[in-house]
């Protein structure tokens, strides 16, 4: 997948997420089904933290001068919610209640930082030639790091819809 296609997917996925959030009350945003489940607010915190961590990882991978010859990872498994993936502690949300405006501002800020980094690349094809080690998926081309962001967000949109269905 080319970077422009990935950016389009990132935008479409984020717009879907924002549509879901816009219809929710503060109570719905912060309500947990039980103590072991995340609220929608916590899911958003996780998405923000993940995006910020990915930006750092991609920047580190870009520092490499060496071309990588690794295969693209099949990342569609991220969409399968029946397969549980434990978030690393660094990407786990807090118990802090956030208001709608604050969630939106933080989502917009992390996405803006991603777009700024991507648009600053003199040669975007470098993303397909460099890699960085992912804590779960191991060696991954940087373009796959970017691509996995929208798939990860789609996974969590499904989770949010499950949470919302639980309200009914």
Q: What is the pLDDT of residues 4-37, one digit of tens each?
A: 999 999 999 999 999 999 989 999 999 988 888 9
Q: Percentage of the chain surpassing pLDDT 90?
A: 73
pTM value?
0.93
pLDDT at 1: 64
- Per residue in 79-112, pLDDT (tens digit) is 888 888 888 899 999 999 899 999 999 999 999 9
Q: Is residue 147 part of a domain?
A: yes
What CATH number is attached to the domain comprising 90? 1.20.120.450
* Residue 28: inside a domain: no
Residue range of the domain that includes 67: 3-21+38-167
Average pLDDT for the chain: 92
Q: Is the pLDDT of residue 132 over 90?
A: yes
Beta carbons within 8 Å of 50's beta carbon, 6+ residues apart: 87, 91, 149, 152
CB 97 within 8 Å of CB 105: no
Rounded to the nearest 10°, the torsion over CA 21, 23, 25, 29 is -20
């Amino acid at each position: 997948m080319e970077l422009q296609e990935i950016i389009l997917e990132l935008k479409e996925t984020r717009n879907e997420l924002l549509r879901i959030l816009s219809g929710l009350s503060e109570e719905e945003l912060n309500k947990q089904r039980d103590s072991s489940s995340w609220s929608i607010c916590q899911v958003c915190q996780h998405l923000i933290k993940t995006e910020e961590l990915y930006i750092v990882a991609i920047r580190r991978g870009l520092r490499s001068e060496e071309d990588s010859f690794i295969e693209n990872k099949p990342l569609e498994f991220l969409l399968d919610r029946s397969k549980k993936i434990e978030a690393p502690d660094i990407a786990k949300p807090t118990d802090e209640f956030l208001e709608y405006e604050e969630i939106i501002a933080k989502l917009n800020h992390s996405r803006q930082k991603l777009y700024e980094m991507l648009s600053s690349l003199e040669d975007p094809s470098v993303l397909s030639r460099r890699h960085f080690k992912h804590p779960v998926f191991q060696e991954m081309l940087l373009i796959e790091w970017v691509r996995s962001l929208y798939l990860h967000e789609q996974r969590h949109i499904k989770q949010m819809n499950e949470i919302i269905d639980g309200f009914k």
